[in-house]
Structure 1
């Protein structure tokens, strides 16, 4: 697959394809023309001698410092070197690739006043699989992701580091030589155009949106499996009960769960049992209300990210009429708020899943399942400690759900006196979603064990698909086994596409 960068930008699917699918990248002729036209305006301004921020002046608190013409190229190189000041472990390859493509997108919009060769330099890094070493700490989401983007930009200069295949840190100069690429010499404004903007936090948010979309569907799956294993009722998920509270995410989640519970001998076994509970616990009955609210949150976040994908976030911007104007479009508040909101929602999807796990393991509430889902409880502890692990992860997610975007520390001599912390918000969102994967893995394993213990009653088609996916690595009810590798395999089932595909083949596409 090849992603073509147009002067109108790129799509979320393009970002995922480059970040995770290693798609090649090309710049369209129209985007090249847009950049060249914008660059001609900057060249004219520089020739005129009038002061323009980032072209003939310093940066940040040094905005009133005039820079002599013969030192303006030096200014741009110094900017990149000084701003590549991050520290800590490297960001994952997929994040850096997303960030680089989004910076190409930003330049290709034709409002940054750079030569096309600059965008092509980033494209060459992507197409030669050269991933800059971008430390995890450095961005405040103030003038966007200055430090992370500077760590990308410095590689274009033949300086800094790239990320080795084994996670090692390699010399950028040597990596460029090996790939047959030449370092770039920056012209006026180009250093600033490489680092001003929200590309890092937007890249992480787009990756998170893709992950959350899948995980929220899988949460409906594990919910239905747990309800089936606990002899719950499907009646709370009838469509007429959700049309009277018309939140779209709630209706979608309820429809998924109701469909997943059909054609089950386990469900049929107690449908007409008058002794059965009139109402299931909230963690079962109210699952669509929680998961649905998370889906609606995801829809909102997707809208925000979509707007940012067509936004000009550089500063200053070069307008078609020849003006160069300072903006605040680099401020990451929209993305920081969105990332924090989605982290809260994903945290609660995991929290309610852990409550269902606890019910499955508790002999007083699981409706005749053995203690901790072990047929020989006492000598064996079954899944007792898996629930401990889930509880610890829920507690961590609660801490991570505390919003980063309400924090601010002034920088740059009080010039940047309010910052968004959007990078931190997006970074912790990724952790919350990874934790959600683990929580759903524990619920999947627990629910499948419960379904196995209901034999000889046959589970639903979704239940049969889940049992078939989990049994090869988890076995059936029996003596205790080393659980860590079982849980890791369950994580892979939750995060991967195979189980969802098998279930959808049996019951139809999930919403």
Structure 2
């Protein structure tokens, strides 16, 4: 992935990263200006002063030399559970994306070290929880603590062991890696901790996952509509007038559900009829979050940021925009999961499907898929508990210097869990749809034919959890 400008960075990409030379030259010019501005000895927050409540304390030159490293060491207070590898990589790519805007004024050398880390097989241990600050200094301190002598994940793997040349300072002198590791230059420690790049990078990754999940929701809902012989009237694109997203979703459902035939009833249960509205809302919520991610990446996140030739204190760490839209999508997914679970319940009902009760060959001696619905109910109950607005519940920290938080790190964590749980409910409905088509002796729709390759025919009760796991690991992966 050759990056010619900041906007080219894709936090969901697994490709190697390379920064084009013209962009590096621009960043090097900004860095020279930053160093000249710092030479004036004017107070610059977190560079020649302390942090937070200690910002009134001026630092000597010798203190400044170690201060940027100490910023990372002293804030790495997190612990397990750690982010999965793909989300940890998204954090690193998010940080790189913000550095390429130039506001942080970091050196080309640091950017190249970051690129080398992204392209290596080393995954920093980044805590998934516990970011109770105005920004996300705790997880970011872990993400970049290797440059201050910390460890990456794996069996005590550090960046030196990964082959990255971090044991040399800017003058070319060798450093003791157990004492100093890679020496950060002026302003670079605080720049690594600034803003909400981690939550933004993770959100960008989850936008991609949520889009894939939305397509899966559509395919499974269309299968349910087809197998119960639902009246197709609610899915006519004309019913989406004034709402292009809804009209598009209705058209997809109508196409995937296939020809109507003779409907079983004038109106199917509500959970079938509203599928278009529910999934369209999910898709709109994804688009809203995607735009919030773009604003977060394009906006000013550093503080102090180097803007217009001077250092400017900003509030770019206050991620209410990102938090709100993560919450919005989490709630949309929770609603979609509840509607999916409701359809699953109706699929077990002979009055709706015309099939044997609980989708079993022998109702009574066999329980069929009734317990699959119970799992879906438990999963949706857990999903509901994720829908509390994340930014509610601020608390003072840092002796009152930080008296408000948005908890964007937690909001994107809730979204990741919401995607996982919604996928789980979708797997439950998909298994029921598959069994309903089998009992009806009808071929699966083209979009769902892969299920037959993953799930053996269901003729008797068995541990259906294994079938659900196979669906989650293959069809709905």
The TM-score with structure 2 as length reference comes to 0.93
Q: What residue in structure 1 maps to residue 119 of structure 2?
A: 127
CA 1:386 to 1:46, structure 2 compared with 1: closer, same or farther past 3 Å?
same
Superposed counterparts of 1:274-293, under 5 Å: 276-293=264-281
Which of residues 243, 246, 256 is equivalent to 1:250?
246
Q: Distance in 1 between matches of 2:301 and 2:114?
A: 18
SS at match of 1:80: helix
Q: What residue in structure 2 maps to residue 472 of structure 1?
A: 453
Q: What residue in structure 2 maps to residue 238 of structure 1?
A: 236
How far does the alpha carbon of each residue in 1:419-446 deviate from its partner, in whole angstroms, 9 at most, with x for none?
1110001001100100111111111110
Q: Distance in 1 between matches of 2:309 and 2:206?
A: 38
Superposed counterparts of 1:42-53, under 5 Å: 42-53=34-45
SS at match of 1:48: coil
> Does the alignment pair 1:93 with 2:85?
yes
- Offset of residue 465 of structure 1: 4.7
Superposed counterparts of 1:11-26, under 5 Å: 11=9, 14-17=10-13, 21=14, 23-26=15-18
Which of residues 311, 314, 323 is equivalent to 1:324?
311
> Does the alignment pair 1:55 with 2:47?
yes
> Does the alignment pair 1:309 with 2:307?
no
Which of residues 299, 310, 313 is equivalent to 2:287?
299
Q: What residue in structure 1 maps to residue 179 of structure 2?
A: none
Paired residues in the alignment total 463
> Does the alignment pair 1:378 with 2:364?
yes
Q: Distance in 2 between matches of 1:118 and 1:259?
A: 52
- Offset of residue 283 of structure 1: 0.3
- Offset of residue 239 of structure 1: 1.6
Which of residues 146, 152, 156 is equivalent to 1:170?
156
Q: What residue in structure 1 maps to residue 7 of structure 2?
A: 9
Q: Considering only aligned residues, what root-mean-square deviation do their CA atoms show, in Å?
A: 1.7
CA 1:465 to 1:56, structure 2 compared with 1: closer, same or farther past 3 Å?
closer
Contact 1:140 1:420 in 2 (8 A): no
CA 1:210 to 1:465, structure 2 compared with 1: closer, same or farther past 3 Å?
closer
Q: What residue in structure 1 maps to residue 422 of structure 2?
A: 436
Q: Distance in 1 between matches of 2:71 and 2:413?
A: 25
- Offset of residue 464 of structure 1: 4.5
Contact 2:303 2:315 in 1 (8 A): yes
> Does the alignment pair 1:361 with 2:348?
yes
- Offset of residue 315 of structure 1: 0.7
Q: Distance in 2 between matches of 1:140 and 1:7?
A: 32
Q: Distance in 1 between matches of 2:28 and 2:5?
A: 12
- Offset of residue 391 of structure 1: 0.4
SS at match of 2:156: strand
Q: What residue in structure 2 maps to residue 481 of structure 1?
A: 462
Q: What residue in structure 1 maps to residue 176 of structure 2?
A: none
- Offset of residue 458 of structure 1: 4.5
CA 1:289 to 1:317, structure 2 compared with 1: closer, same or farther past 3 Å?
same
CA 1:161 to 1:359, structure 2 compared with 1: closer, same or farther past 3 Å?
same
Superposed counterparts of 1:384-403, under 5 Å: 384-403=370-389
CA 1:260 to 1:465, structure 2 compared with 1: closer, same or farther past 3 Å?
closer
SS at match of 2:110: helix
Which of residues 140, 151, 164 is equivalent to 1:161?
151
Q: What residue in structure 2 maps to residue 205 of structure 1?
A: 203
SS at match of 1:381: coil
Contact 1:7 1:30 in 2 (8 A): no
The TM-score with structure 1 as length reference comes to 0.87
Contact 2:99 2:106 in 1 (8 A): yes
Contact 2:256 2:447 in 1 (8 A): no
Q: Distance in 2 between matches of 1:464 and 1:34?
A: 51
- Offset of residue 141 of structure 1: 5.8
Contact 2:123 2:152 in 1 (8 A): yes
Q: Distance in 1 between matches of 2:78 and 2:443?
A: 56
> Does the alignment pair 1:350 with 2:342?
no
> Does the alignment pair 1:182 with 2:182?
no
SS at match of 2:161: helix
SS at match of 1:57: coil
Q: What residue in structure 1 maps to residue 175 of structure 2?
A: none
Q: Distance in 2 between matches of 1:215 and 1:478?
A: 29
> Does the alignment pair 1:261 with 2:257?
yes
Q: Distance in 2 between matches of 1:33 and 1:67?
A: 31
- Offset of residue 318 of structure 1: 0.8
Q: What residue in structure 2 maps to residue 219 of structure 1?
A: 217
How far does the alpha carbon of each residue in 1:282-330 deviate from its partner, in whole angstroms, 9 at most, with x for none?
10111111111221121111111122222231110112x4211100012
- Offset of residue 471 of structure 1: 2.3
Contact 1:357 1:446 in 2 (8 A): yes
- Offset of residue 99 of structure 1: 0.9
Q: Distance in 1 between matches of 2:204 and 2:286?
A: 11
